[in-house]
Amino acid sequence: MDQALLRGIVTENARSSGLSPQLVNAIIDVESHGDPSAVSRAGAQGLMQLMPDTAATYGVVDAFDPEENVSGGCRYMEYLLKRYHGNVKLALAAYNAGPGVVDAAHGVPSFAETRAYVARVSAALHSTTQ
């Protein structure tokens, strides 16, 4: 995907959702490595790896369309940050494992995958803000 086009999509959607473009870029980097056609073993799709139910909730018709995917992913992350009162680590854990799992764990769940995900996105975010 053209990096200038992706930067524009990320910047526009991040700002309209009250997110930093750096956070959105870190999520995209960890989720799909910037591949809009990425599909996970669990069925998550596109740049921000939206599950079909999440995509539908946020009005994403084509999860492989970069604009739709980033728009839906940003709005979902905005919701999670509000739900967890701005706590980025909890929002990232919920983005990975689901809000119900984070709520039940009263924090970042002990799943190795989720802990590694939060650490990888946090590291990617930290490296872009230096």
Active site positions, annotated: 31
Q: Is 109 exposed, middle or buried (0-12, 13-18, 19+ CB in 10 A)?
A: buried
At 45 the three-state DSSP class reads strand
H or E segment and range at residue 79: helix 66-83
Residues in contact with 83: Cβ distance below 8 Å, sequence separation at least 6, in sequence order = 91, 94, 99
Could you give the CA distance from residue 107 to residue 88 in angstroms, rounded to a whole number? 11
To the nearest 10 degrees (0 to 180), the angle between helices 3-16 and 21-32 is 120
